[in-house]
Homo-oligomer: A and B are copies of this chain.
Amino acid sequence: MIRISDDSPIPIYQQIIDAMRREILAGVFAPDSRLPSIRELAIELKVNPNTVAKAYQEMASEGAIYFKRGQGAYVTAQSADDLLKQAKAEMAKHILEIIAIARSLGLNGAQVKKIFETLLEQQEEK
């Protein structure tokens, strides 16, 4: 199930994209399997169909899914592979940000690593 946060700064259609990406990666939706229809998902998420359509459209233009006319949306075959690369790129971005902050604090790599490990442990306990 997908949870949409209405008061998040992240646009709803982006939240849908993120959620679908994760489900595809997790294997919930196998390659060439059918995704929920725009209308179905819109009702389930209590969101306007246009918003879901925008999310699907975006994923289609990225090549992660494709449409069969009159039949709905399907997962692209190599979708999971591409998504994995994208996910890694995402993580790299965040690490870049962390490094930038660390530098402004005058921290070196070893210190950054330590902070990361500490936070990682804290998060994992939850």
Contact call A109/B91, Cβ cutoff below 8 A: no
Interface residues on A, range: 35 or more
Given contacts A6-B68, A96-B123, A116-B116, is CB(A91)–CB(B84) below 8 Å? Answer: no
Whether, in the assembled complex, A12 has its beta carbon less than 8 Å from a beta carbon of chain B, the answer is yes
- Interchain Cβ contacts under 8 Å between A and B, 30 examples: A6-B68, A7-B66, A7-B68, A12-B69, A21-B104, A25-B104, A25-B105, A26-B104, A84-B105, A87-B104, A87-B105, A88-B115, A90-B97, A90-B101, A91-B98, A91-B101, A92-B123, A94-B94, A94-B95, A94-B97, A94-B98, A95-B116, A95-B123, A96-B119, A96-B123, A109-B120, A109-B121, A112-B120, A113-B116, A116-B116
